[in-house]
Amino acid sequence: MNNDTTLKNIVKEKYSQIALQDKGDNAASCCGATPSSNKIYNIMMDDYSQVEGYAADADLGLGCGLPTAFAQIHPGDTVIDLGSGAGNDCFVARHETGPEGKVIGIDFTEAMISKARLNAEKLGYNNVEFRLGDIDQMPVNDNVADVIVSNCVLNLVPDKKAVINEIMRVLKPGGHFSISDIVLVGELPEALRQDAEMYAGCVAGAIQKDEYLGFIEAAGFRNIQVQKSKTILIPDDILTRYLDAQGIEDFQKGETGIFSITVYAEKAGDKIKVQKPKMTIAEVQAANCCEPGSACC
């Protein structure tokens, strides 16, 4: 595969295209560039539509789990979403942290940041912000977040170890993360590993499950748990682009597995409880304004 800079540019280009499409278009095409059956970007997604805080305009169908469902977010928490896309996980997290908390989304694609900010403005959320930057060099100070979430993003970053070290830096003592990602057990066929489309579609960039968990342990995290695991099946109509009939049969009967896992881990230390000043009635109304059911708008 290419060097790290080239890989980042591939991902940025693909997801910039996706940002300009809605979920229906994304589900029917691979960045609008291939036939409708080749849903490389959507074969892993979970259904968010019944999750509280869900915003349909912010759901591009690009995830591989529901990390916010496992993230143990509490009212008043500061939450960071890595690879925030159009903002869907941020808005779900905002439902949990409430108007007295704060949510920061980080994405390195300008088109995604623009779309997410527009969605936040339409929802009237003034405690959700989106920052342009790389998640292996986050535009965030040390010890900021109570909780970090991410949905099918670390596999797109060449230096996954750097991202995990950044998570450690940015979390507060006693903070934790819940991250959904794609991992492997066994080796992918070479044709899949070398294809840029499969890399940007989260498959070719995945690493071995044991290596992934090893990075988390080596960074110093404790209480590491796999909260959820599901098998990812690549449809035959995608595999035929890379393998002949015998290759597909061997791949499907082999010991290789592609999995979406949601991993939880904690940063050592005791949480410091900060007494926040009570919000005035006007501030509460401003924070909640334009939410469904709000009476203040």
The angle formed by the CA atoms of residues 292, 109 and 170, to the nearest 5 degrees, is 80
Q: What is the pLDDT of residue 38?
A: 40
In a domain, 273, yes or no: no
In a domain, 291, yes or no: no
Mean per-residue pLDDT, 150-163: 90
In a domain, 295, yes or no: no
In a domain, 296, yes or no: no
Q: Which residue from 113, 131, 148 is spatially nearest to 219, judged by alpha carbons? A: 148
Instruction: Give SS3 for 169.
Output: helix
In a domain, 36, yes or no: yes
Separation CA 168–CA 162 (nearest Å):
10
Which amino acid, 69? A
In a domain, 81, yes or no: yes
- 132 - beta bridge partners? 107
CATH code of residue 77:
3.40.50.150
Separation CA 93–CA 145 (nearest Å):
13
pLDDT band at 281 (very low <50, low <70, confident <90, very high): very low
Q: What is the pLDDT of residue 29?
A: 37
Token readout for 25 is 């278009």
Percent pLDDT > 90 in the chain is: 46
**pLDDT, tens digit, for every residue of 21-74?**
655 554 433 333 333 334 544 455 666 667 788 787 877 777 778 899 999 999
Does 242 have pLDDT greater than 90? no
Does 204 have pLDDT greater than 70? no
Query: What range does the domain containing 211 cover?
Result: 4-268+280-286
How far CA 32 is from CA of 110, 113, 249, 290, in Å, comes to: 19, 20, 29, 34
Mean per-residue pLDDT, 273-286: 50
Domain tally for the chain?
1
N-to-C CA span, the chain: 53
**pLDDT, tens digit, for every residue of 258-273?**
888 999 999 999 876 5
In a domain, 87, yes or no: yes
In a domain, 255, yes or no: yes
Token readout for 30 is 């691979």
